[in-house]
Amino acid sequence: MAFSRRILARFALLAAALCALAPAAALAATEKVLRYAFPVAETGFDPPQLSDLYSRIITANIFENLYGYDYLARPAKVRPVLAAALPEVSGDFRTFTIKVRPGVRFAADAAFEGKGREVTAADFVYSLKRVMDPKTKSPQVSSYEEEGILGFSELRKKALASGKFDYDTEIEGLRVLDKYTLQFKLAQPRPRFILTLADPGIGGVVAREVVEKYGEAIMEHPVGTGPFMLKEWRRSSKITLVRNPDYREVRFESEPNPKDPESVRIAAMMKGKRLPMIDRVEIAIIDDPQPRWLSFLNREYDLMERLPENLATHAIPNNKLAPNLAKQGLQMDRVPLSDIRMLYFSMTHPIVGGYTPEKVALRRAIALAMNGNEEARLAMRGQAMVAQGFIMPNTASFDPDYRSEMGTFDRKKAVALLDMFGYVDKNGDGWREMPDGSPLVLVYDTLSAADYRERDEVMKKNLDAIGVKLELRIGKWPEQLRNSRAGKLMMWGYGLSASSPNSGPVLALGYSKQVGGQNHSRFSNAKFDELYDKVQLMPDGPERDAVMREAQRILIAYMPIKVRVHRIGTDLMQPWLVGYKRHPNAREFWQYVDIDLAKFPKK
C-alpha cells in the first residue's frame, strides 16, 4: 500500500508538471518564427560603425530612422517613420525642419533602469554626432561631410585636435528647436537630402545612456525603437531576435503600383494588421550555398534569400520554379537588383596601381580579358546581366541601352595592350612578366563558398588565356573588409547595393575623400572629384545624368575598378511565409511578413 501511495504521488507530481508546462507548450506551438540564413558573417550591431550589408539588415530591424520606404511602392517612395511628417524644406534645399513623432520609446534596457524612454529631437542630434566622433571610427564620416551639415566637420576637427568630442556643443547645421523638432542647415543645396535621412545604411536613432553604459561593448548591445530586439548572438554562427514588447502601435499600410498584381494582393491581404506579425527571427550563418539550400529544402528555413547562382539550373530552370518545387507550394520572387559586383585594383600597389600609361594598360587589359557574358551565363546561371558601368538598375540615372568598355570582352585587344607596354613572357615559362622583368602575379582575395569558386574559375581561365598568372587567396569576409579598408589588399571582389533610388552615391567608389571608406581602390583624380561634387548638388534630370556619365567615363578610362555584373535576385519562400516582397533599397522586411501556422508542417 505504501508502494502504491508513492506511485500515485509521483503520478500526481508528473501531472502537475505537465499542467504547468501546457501553457508554455501551447505558446511555443503558436509562436511565429522567421528562420533563414546569411551567406556572410555579421560584424556587429552599432549603426554608425557598420558598412556591411548583413549587419545592416539586423540593425534596420532594431533601429529606426526619421524616414524609410513604403514596403510595396515601386518606384521607391519615401515615407515618415519616426518623423511625424515629411520635412519642411526651404526653396534652396538648404534647410530641412522635421517634427519628431511624439510618444516613441526606446526598448526597455538596463541603461534606463529596466524601462524604456521617450525619443526626443535631441536623440537624433546625438546619434548623428556619433558618426563624427573619431572614437566611433565610422565609415560614414565622409558621406556626412559631403552633405555639408554646417559645423559638422569643424566639430570633428576640434575633437581630433583635442582628443575629446564635445557632444553638448550646438552647431548651426544640426539644432534642436524644441523637444520634438530638429533642423538641418546645409552649406549647399541638397535636393535629395531626404534620401540620406531614409538610408537604411545610416542606421537609426540611439540613446546616449545606452552608448555610455556599454562603451566599447556597444556593438553587442543594440537598443533601438524598432519592432525587434537582439535576444542571442553567437558571433558568425547564430543571431536570434524577438519582438519588442513595447513597440508602439503600427498598422500595415502601403501604396503598391497598381500595375503589379502581386503587390496589390499583398497590400489588400495585410492592410490594417498590427506590426510586427511575427514573434521571433532566427538567423544562421552558412557561407556555403549547398548546405544552405539543402537546409531550406529540408524546411529548416522559411526563406532562401537570393538563390545562389550555381543552384539556379535545378531550382528555376528557364527562370521558372521547378515543377517538383512548385508541387511543394514554394513561392518565388524574382527581380533585378540595384547592385553591382566588381573587383578593384589597389591604386597604391606596386604591381597593379599607379596612373602611368603602362599601369593603366595593365588594368584595362585585365578588364578586357574578363568575359562578362560567360560569368553571367555559366558561373551565375543567367542570374545576372553584364554591367556596362557603375550606375545601378532601379536608380534614377540608369540607362539600359548604355554601352562602354567596362562591359566589353576583347581578348585580342587585351593581348595587344599587354604586348605594347612590355608585359611579355621574358623567361619562357608561359607567364608574362612586368616590363622590368620582375614577376607579374596577381593576388586576388576571395571566399571559399561554391558560388565564389565558380566565378573565380571563370576569371582565372580568362586570365590564363592571356598569360597573366592569378593566385586566389581564400579568407573570411570580415577580415578581408578590414584589410581592404587599411589598403593591404592588391585585388578584392565584392558587391555594392543601392540603399536609395539616388544614382549618385555609387560614384563614391572613386571619390578621393572616401579613401578608407567606400573608395577601396584608393583612386584619386581631381577632375573626377569635381564632377562628383557637382552631381551631389544637381536635381535629378538629363543634365545630372550627363555629368554622371562624364564622371563614369573617367573611372572606365583608368579602370581602378572592374564592374562585372548586375545581379538578378531570386528569392524562394516556403508556402507558410506570407507577404514577402523584396524592396530595391530597404533592408527591413521582417515586420511586414507573417507565418501562416495552418500551413506550417506538423512535427
Across the range 56-72, mean pLDDT stands at 96
For 112-139, what is each residue's pLDDT tens digit? 999 999 999 999 999 999 999 999 999 8
Q: Domain-by-domain residue ranges, the chain?
A: 34-251, 339-568
Q: Is the pLDDT of residue 22 over 60?
A: no
pLDDT at residue 601, rounded to an integer: 84
pLDDT at residue 27, rounded to an integer: 40
Across the range 79-106, mean pLDDT stands at 97
Residue 29 pLDDT class (50, 70, 90 cuts)? low
pLDDT at residue 145, rounded to an integer: 87
Do 415 and 423 touch, CB atoms closer than 8 A? no
Alpha-carbon distance 301 to 303, whole Å? Answer: 6
pLDDT at residue 251, rounded to an integer: 98
Would you say how long the chain is, in residues? 603
Across the range 378-391, mean pLDDT stands at 93
Across the range 10-28, mean pLDDT stands at 39
For 221-277, what is each residue's pLDDT tens digit? 999 999 999 999 999 999 999 999 999 999 999 999 999 999 999 999 999 999 999
pLDDT at residue 257, rounded to an integer: 94
> What is the pTM assigned to this prediction?
0.80
Residue 302 pLDDT class (50, 70, 90 cuts)? very high
pLDDT at residue 430, rounded to an integer: 96
Q: Is the pLDDT of residue 359 over 80?
A: yes
pLDDT at residue 603, rounded to an integer: 64
Q: Is the pLDDT of residue 278 over 90?
A: yes
User: What is the pLDDT of the chain when averaged over all its residues?
Assistant: 92
Q: Which fold has domain 34-251?
A: D-Maltodextrin-Binding Protein; domain 2 (3.40.190)
Angle subtended at Cα 405 by Cα 400 and Cα 408, rounded to the nearest 5 degrees: 80
pLDDT at residue 8, rounded to an integer: 38
Residue of 498, 494, 484 lying closest to 343 (CA atoms)? 494
Angle subtended at Cα 377 by Cα 373 and Cα 383, rounded to the nearest 5 degrees: 115
pLDDT at residue 451, rounded to an integer: 82
Do 353 and 347 touch, CB atoms closer than 8 A? yes
b (16+ CB within 10 A) / e for 17-36: eeeeeeeeeeeeeeebebbb
**Cα-Cα-Cα-Cα dihedral sign, residues 10, 13, 16, 17:** negative
Residue 52 pLDDT class (50, 70, 90 cuts)? confident
Containing 333, the helix (H) or strand (E) segment is strand 331-336
Q: Which residue has the higher pLDDT, 201 or 561?
A: 561
Residues 6+ apart with CB under 8 A from 557: 360
Residue of 232, 154, 283, 206 lying closest to 49 (CA atoms)? 206
Q: What is the largest CA-CA distance in the chain?
A: 104
Q: Is the pLDDT of residue 19 over 70?
A: no
Q: Is the pLDDT of residue 424 over 60?
A: yes
Q: Which residue has the higher pLDDT, 22 or 572?
A: 572
For 160-216, what is each residue's pLDDT tens digit? 999 999 999 999 999 999 999 999 999 999 999 999 999 866 668 999 999 999 999
In the block, which residue shows the cell 524577438? 242
Do 346 and 559 touch, CB atoms closer than 8 A? no
Q: Which fold has domain 339-568?
A: Dipeptide-binding Protein; domain 3 (3.10.105)
pLDDT at residue 60, rounded to an integer: 94
